[in-house]
Structure 1
């Protein structure tokens, strides 16, 4: 596996230091495909998401959800031995661990277990300090105000 060279990105971008490690980690993870348990990632609206994991046969007590350093980890622990004898067992009944990298400001808002599906709700909450804001520009006795969300520039005379 070759590492991706992100040097052109770093020349003109600031604060994307984590990007290279995220891409390399994703490529390393995908090199060992593990489709268990199956899952879906859904966009509910601009700032809300849901991850649904198929956890048939797991009780709420056997599931664990943790978030640490921007990584959401979902674990299912099967400790008890199944005494049944199967002719065919198509429903996997083994322990698992599935990890999801979360972008900055994405937080877990809750989780539900219903009909064998674990749904984890996520919300992206951008702090006020990160939202666009108006910057005043002083120019020869005039104050020019420009709102990042508007195209018009207003001029206020300074006395």
Structure 2
């Protein structure tokens, strides 16, 4: 088990805010992997946070001058909840259809395939996009 997740009976929560710039997507990935350490799910969580942070700065006010986005991790014994908060915008995140020519929503296909469930709550004043990633049991080998 990761050093950060040293007690299997506890629920851990970590939050951090980032300036809404492209360079901070890498920092958001580092934030996630630094807490998940050597857990097998760390790579999956890194990909999910990368997509959600990218969407936050591309499609919301988080990407404007002075904008910010936040990353929250809730880790229990069997489930990781990964959430990205943004400053909102006029469109709602969605998975686009394959025939759509618009690039919006294509990365959410990745989020949809890597998580057991994902969703959005909030409005144009600010949203949270979240995903659920199952964690392997402490005694289970992967």
Q: Name the TM-score class by shorter chain.
A: 0.3 to 0.5
TM value normalised by structure 1: 0.30
Q: From the two aligned structures, give the one with the greater strand fraction.
A: 1
TM value normalised by structure 2: 0.33
Q: From the two aligned structures, give the one with the greater helix fraction.
A: 2
Relative contact order, CA 8 A, sep 6+: which one is greater?
2
Q: Which of 1 and 2 has greater Rg?
A: 1
